[in-house]
Structure 1
Amino acid sequence: MNAELEQLKHLGFLKIFKESYNLIVSKWRHIFSKIFLVFIFPFCFLILADMILTDHLSLSIAGKTINLLDDYEPTNMYNRQMKHDRDVHSILLGVFTLLYFLIGLVVFYLFAISAISYVVACIYASKDTNLKQAIRVVLKAWKKLVVTYLWNFVIQFVYIGVFVALAVACVVIGSREGKLIIGIVIGVILFISFVVGLIYFNVIWSLASVVSVLEECYGLQAFKRSRDLMKGKKKLCIGIYMVFQVLLVIIQGGYFTLALFLFPVFVYVIAGIVFFVPLLGVVLLGFVVQTVLYLVLKSYQNEGIDKSSLGAQLDGYLGPQGRPISGRKNVQLNEV
């Protein structure tokens, strides 16, 4: 059913998706189902809730701001109430955004990565596992993963800050007499470079998150490690990343399209039915693909060692309690 580890280096774009799908629907589907309910379902629910609340509050804030700009009389009771409502909605938007970051991303998102990375590695190491063991691993691996994620946040914050500063410089250049064309050209080149760099960095992060769980390194070392693993396979990594980004954009775009044309009461129902289910599938498959891709890259880099070394690495979280999975053939796994 699943590719042996020495064959993983030969898996291409479509076969990586097939391999990941086979893992989910095979005899290990019971553990994936439990992880799905415990971690991925709440995470996706928070994504949908954030989309709905952000959309509703943002439109409300924008509408009230426009009305106040058109006709604002400080002594007008209606305008004072509108300003108060706008400020309250702005605070609520900030609170919801912070809660989504702390609970949705830092907790459920990282928990899901840790659990699925561990389970997929156990499958290839021919080790039995269950939800209880996965949760124990999550609580230990999560600490390393948080450090890596915080570095990801800091680096992206600095990267975006530099881009904004350069964009302002382009505006200044373009505002000068006779420099408009130069400013536009520089701005377009800068924007394209920014998008390409952001995509490349996010690909590195997706691998660094798995590295932080299955290897000893984390933080900046995990980013360096994932960049090294990508050598010779960058197009494959970027292609897989873009597939999931496009799918998520389609899901989010579909929701916002409905939000423009339907009444709010229908938006909640339709969004929950039409967009929540595919979102669940995309997120689950995406997490599994991340780990399979990591193993493919390690195999491609010829870092081969037998499954016992991976088992020892996994036992570092739990102690040597893993048992061979019955019926699973011996596989060669690259060193973790």
Structure 2
Amino acid sequence: MNPTRTEQPEPDTLHLTSFFGIFTHSLSKSKPLLTKLTLTLILPLAITFLSHIQISHRFFPHIENPYVITSTSSFPRHVSLSDWLLFSIFKIAYFTLLTLFSLLSTASVVFTVASGYTARDVTFRRLVTAVVPNVWKKLFVTFVYIYFWLFVYNVVSGGVMYATWLLFGYTVFGSVILFVIFILYVLGFLYLTVVWQLTSVVTVLEKIRGFKALKKGKMLASGKTGVGMGIAFILYAVLLGVILVYELFVEFGGEFAQLAMVWRVMIAILCVGLVTIVFLLLIVTQTVLYLVCKSYHREAIDKLSLSTFLSAYTEETVVLPKPGGEIQLGRVQAQVQPSAEMV
């Protein structure tokens, strides 16, 4: 990977990057190294994500949908302890693989895009053997915080919706209230998605993790929240559309569309490819959005300082700038005093 500096937006104008500009810059990062990372890390992530739907429907339909519908009525099917045990093992294995591939994909792609911004050369072998092992541990701590707040958000939102249903039932007024709550839930989820995505990039490119990274991600999101939410909405809408196509024409293709197996397999391959592209764009755009937000908040993104920080992951021998000559990543551009930390 050997990108030129002319391909990258300069720090002083980076904050002016528009909604479509972020997509343009993100797509321009499609280099051979990203292709290798996509095939080795993001493709398995997409396969894991979609195969979970297939396996759940094929082997655990009586747990995820406890009603067996017949021609006359529907009765809840008995679920044994062994069924729950197998289902729990399957879910644990699924979330373990999903988290593992998400960690590795995020760490490697964020590092690759940041290296492209600084015009650093990085090989696939060095990335896998040196960078990822040094990044995934700190990124895992941040992921734990993200999963915790995601769980809390969904539990509270679900509780509010359930309480509303208990109070108003299936009335017109109750339906309107539930719809409004759902819209607010989606907007809140998109906002949190932007914060969490920026938090992941902060963890890789700065010397903080966990709750401190969450606070930094929230701070960076302010001012560019609308742009970030718009990008997240488009990508998640595409992802939701692909999931619906997969369930209708692959999962239930024989019953719903009367498709032959060969067509269902071809649609499945297409869906895996689309999900892979969406996952790649999610990581790349969040990295570019991070750079845009840093510029918007007037935090210097000096390429030498960033390149020096990235070289620490690969344990390279680098020549540091003289004291006072560097521009730190986490400091406002108007300040020129040297900082004790790199970020």
Contact 1:60 1:89 in 2 (8 A): no
1:107 aligns with 2:109: no
Aligned counterpart, 1:192: 183
- Return the alpha-carbon distance in structure 2 between the equivalents of residues 221 and 123 of structure 1: 26
1:303 aligns with 2:311: no
Alignment of 1:122-141 (within 5 A): 122-135=115-128, 136-141=130-135
Task: Give the one of 218, 239, 245 matched to 2:230.
Answer: 239
Higher mean displacement: 260-269 or 202-211: 260-269
- Return the alpha-carbon distance in structure 1 between the equivalents of residues 168 and 242 of structure 2: 37
1:160 aligns with 2:163: no
**3-state secondary structure, aligned to 2:21:** helix
Aligned counterpart, 1:75: none
Of all paired residues, the percent bearing the same amino acid is: 28
Aligned counterpart, 1:76: none
* Offset at residue 70 of structure 1 (A): 4.7
Higher mean displacement: 148-157 or 88-97: 88-97
- Return the alpha-carbon distance in structure 1 between the equivalents of residues 222 and 108 of structure 2: 26
Task: Give the one of 36, 39, 57 matched to 2:38.
Answer: 36
- Return the alpha-carbon distance in structure 2 between the equivalents of residues 228 and 63 of structure 1: 44
**3-state secondary structure, aligned to 1:302:** coil
- Return the alpha-carbon distance in structure 1 between the equivalents of residues 241 and 196 of structure 2: 22
1:55 aligns with 2:57: yes
* Offset at residue 213 of structure 1 (A): 0.7
Aligned counterpart, 2:15: 9
Aligned counterpart, 1:117: 110
TM-score, normalised by the number of residues in structure 1 = 0.81
Contact 2:26 2:288 in 1 (8 A): yes
- Return the alpha-carbon distance in structure 1 between the equivalents of residues 244 and 317 of structure 2: 46
Aligned counterpart, 1:18: 24
Contact 1:125 1:310 in 2 (8 A): yes
* Offset at residue 87 of structure 1 (A): 6.9
Task: Give the one of 143, 151, 164 matched to 2:145.
Answer: 151
**3-state secondary structure, aligned to 1:65:** strand
Pair 172,43 (structure 1): closer, same or farther in 2 beyond 3 Å = closer
Contact 1:125 1:333 in 2 (8 A): no
AA matched with 1:167: M
Aligned counterpart, 2:281: 285
Task: Give the one of 209, 214, 218 matched to 1:227.
Answer: 218
* Offset at residue 251 of structure 1 (A): 0.9
- Return the alpha-carbon distance in structure 2 between the equivalents of residues 155 and 143 of structure 1: 19
**3-state secondary structure, aligned to 1:304:** coil
Higher mean displacement: 131-140 or 114-123: 131-140
Pair 33,227 (structure 1): closer, same or farther in 2 beyond 3 Å = same
Contact 1:299 1:334 in 2 (8 A): no
Residue deviations 1:31-72 (CA, integer Å, cap 9, x gap): 2122122211211111121122123345465486345x9588
AA matched with 2:315: G
Higher mean displacement: 37-46 or 232-241: 37-46
Contact 1:57 1:90 in 2 (8 A): no
Contact 1:295 1:334 in 2 (8 A): no
Residue deviations 1:202-231 (CA, integer Å, cap 9, x gap): 221111111111111111211111111122
AA matched with 2:296: Y
* Offset at residue 111 of structure 1 (A): 0.6
Q: Give the number of the structure with larger relative contact order, counting CA–CA contacts within 8 Å between residues 6 or more apart.
A: 1
Contact 1:116 1:288 in 2 (8 A): yes
Aligned counterpart, 1:327: none
Q: Flag structure 2 segments of 5+ consecutive residues without an equivalent.
A: 1-6, 320-326, 331-342
Contact 2:221 2:293 in 1 (8 A): yes
- Return the alpha-carbon distance in structure 1 between the equivalents of residues 226 and 193 of structure 2: 14
Aligned counterpart, 2:209: 218
AA matched with 2:20: L
Residue deviations 1:122-167 (CA, integer Å, cap 9, x gap): 1212221112322222112111111111111111212222223323
Q: Flag structure 1 segments of 5+ consecutive residues without an equivalent.
A: 73-78, 324-331
Contact 1:129 1:322 in 2 (8 A): no
- Return the alpha-carbon distance in structure 1 between the equivalents of residues 258 and 54 of structure 2: 13
